[in-house]
Chains A and B, each alone.
Chain A
Amino acid sequence: MGVWGLRPQRGPGAEPLAFSVIRSASLKLAAIYGILFAVSAFALVLFLWWTTTGLLDQQVEAAIHADAQGLSERWEEGGVPALVLTIQERLAENVDDDAIYLLADALHHRIAGNLERWPANVVTPSTFYELDVARAGMRSTAEVYRYDLPGGFRLLVGRDVKGRTQIKRLLRGTLLYSGILVAVLALVGGLVMRNLFRRMVADVSSTAAAIARGELQRRVRRSGRGDEFDAMAEAINTMLDRIAKLMDGVRQVSNSIAHDLRTPIARARARLEDAARNSATEAELRAAIDRAMADLDAVTAVFQALMRIAEIEAGSRRSAFADVDLGPLLADLAELYSALAEDAGLSLDLHVPDTLPVWADRDLIQQAVANLLDNAIKFSPPGGTVTLSAETAERGVRIGVADQGPGIPEADRARATERFFRGEQARSTPGSGLGLALVQAVATLHDGALVLEDAHPGLCVVLSLHTADMKPASSVPHEPDIALVAQDHGT
């Protein structure tokens, strides 16, 4: 079957056409619609049928019982003669011409009433019967009730229900024709639904097929009506844009890895080759090997940084989240990097409260702030000041690292956190272009944010995190993470 089942492929391995049609989603949708519509309409008509005919039946039965009640009283008052007289009077005054009476003895011999003889099928007392009767040569239908009287006498009281029968017949005809109409409407409606469904998925299907062929720029068309189909098309297009962006990112990272690692590896190889050919002494040879090892260590560091970022982005470190006090942690870092800053001719200012609780992975925060301080020291001119600050903000905690270096042009700031991105002014500075990418990954893992601001002069990098009492749902360890940690410990 083709994509979305729209274009069945005919080939040696393809399904027979009948099967593919039966399994078609659009046909199922049409069938379900048609059946639901037909069942609903039938249920409604049947309800009308039952209520209407039921009401008519109830009226007839009530009239018969009321009539019989009166006759019963006359029977008690005067026996057979009184009953005969009453029957005759009621028949004589029956303007509606629908009353039926028959009083018979134990042998079913007629005593009074307007039925010629006792109907052979009326055998059970206290039971309603529907009889065929002949009235002035015309066939009609009557509903009668049999009452058994003391002394073996039997009484039939009934009504001519030809009118009711005609209404029932009319309703039955209406039911039949409305059933046919409903079936036709269900069929037409089903076909309309099917075509609508097919048209809806046709563009999605063709887009998916085009992307499978390699036309990655294809997108699902929007009708512009702003309906659910447009919403779906927009969601699919957003997904495709995201996939395209990720693929671009992967391509760019691959290219960057190839480019950035080729240089130190080539340099190490050249040094080793030169040492092998030209070193006169063992000391020169060892020095060349040491330099080559340093180059290779840099390569290894790049790989480690990449793997670290991948690990953070995978979210596998969420199990290490805990309440962390940033105050002492940042103070320790400032103390550690103040020596480095001093060596670079810089001063490191610290503006951090004593206590600053956050919900975070301590090691990752430490590494992220260390990266920021490292960058700030690296890019600040001698005599400048690097400032490490932290404060409680409205929606969490802000950690800021500001320098007085060249900063990052606004046009480059959006890309500054991409892997291997290095601005024009950073090309002459040692580094792999992975530091800010790691900080960004840490911020994302913590549901936080990383913002690059202009410090006039220099750059201020702000890392926002959640406070300990505002734990984001995604930071709470969940089962897969725990399972993974347990597995790691077990191996």
Chain B
Amino acid sequence: MNTGLKAALRMFCAICLVVPAFPAATARGEEYPPAVILTDTVEYCDHLQHLIGDRAARTAEAHRLFNEGRRMCDHGEIRAGIARLRQALIMVRARPAQAPRP
């Protein structure tokens, strides 16, 4: 077999060996226990509801999101509920307290 063919075969084998290694480009902490995220909990759900408080009534949309988020948290859909509560919080913070809902 000529030299060119051998070199091409070597390159092909090298690629086959290297390709499976690509996903591990960054060092991973597989041997460590996973760190727990605290903002996916019922407690954080309650915390957000507390933050929003009475201000949820400032806009209809914020009120709807607040109720929806609270209901979802109560039904165990914590992350979806938290997402709605966050949207409600952003809305009420953007709405000044001096401008009550018409």
Contacts and interface: CB of A to CB of B under 8 A. Distances in A.
B48 interface: yes
A398 to B, nearest CB: 55
A135 B12 contact: no
B40 A172 contact: no
A428 interface: no
Contact of B48 (A92, A136, A140, A172): A92
Interface string A322-334: 0000000000000
Nearest to B90: A93
A117 interface: yes
Interface in B13-34: 15, 19, 22-23, 25-30, 32-34
Contact of B34 (A49, A133, A179): A133
Given A93-B89, A95-B90, A134 B35 contact: yes
Contacts of A35: 5, 8-9, 11-12
Interface stretch (A36-44, A71-79, A453-461): A36-44
B36 to A, nearest CB: 4
B98 to A, nearest CB: 21
Given A93-B90, A136-B41, A136-B78, A131 B29 contact: yes
A213 B82 CA distance: 91
Interface in A89-128: 91-95, 97, 100, 113-117, 119-121, 128
Interface residues of A, number: 47
A36 B8 contact: yes
A169 B22 CA distance: 11
Contact of B35 (A53, A119, A128): A119
B26 A128 contact: yes
A39 B15 contact: yes
Contacts of A53: 25
Nearest to B84: A95
Contacts of A129: 27, 29
A186 B35 CA distance: 46
A172 B35 contact: no
Contacts of B44: 114
Nearest to A114: B39
A143 B29 CA distance: 11
A46 interface: yes
A132 interface: yes
B32 A139 contact: no
Contact of A132 (B32, B89, B90): B32
Interface string B58-102: 000000000000000000001100110011011001000000000
A374 B93 CA distance: 123
Nearest to A117: B35
A35 to B, nearest CB: 5
A92 B29 contact: no
A97 B35 contact: no
Contact of B40 (A22, A31, A92, A135): A135
B51 A92 contact: yes
Contacts of B40: 135-136
B11 to A, nearest CB: 6
A31 B28 CA distance: 39
Contacts of A179: 19
A32 B35 contact: no
A175 interface: yes
A168 interface: yes
A131 B37 CA distance: 11
A28 interface: yes
B91 to A, nearest CB: 10
A132 B1 contact: no
Interface string A24-38: 000010011001101
25 contacts: A28-B1, A32-B8, A35-B9, A35-B11, A35-B12, A36-B8, A42-B19, A46-B22, A93-B86, A95-B86, A95-B90, A100-B37, A114-B38, A115-B38, A120-B29, A121-B29, A121-B32, A130-B27, A132-B28, A132-B29, A135-B79, A136-B41, A136-B78, A142-B35, A143-B26
* 7 smallest beta-carbon distances between A and B, as pairs: A116-B36, A136-B40, A132-B34, A114-B39, A121-B29, A134-B34, A35-B8
Interface of A: 22-23, 28, 31-32, 35-36, 38-39, 42, 46, 49, 53, 91-95, 97, 100, 113-117, 119-121, 128-136, 139-140, 142-143, 160, 168-169, 172, 175, 179
Given A38-B12, A132-B32, 5 more contacts: A32-B4, A92-B86, A132-B35, A133-B35, A136-B78
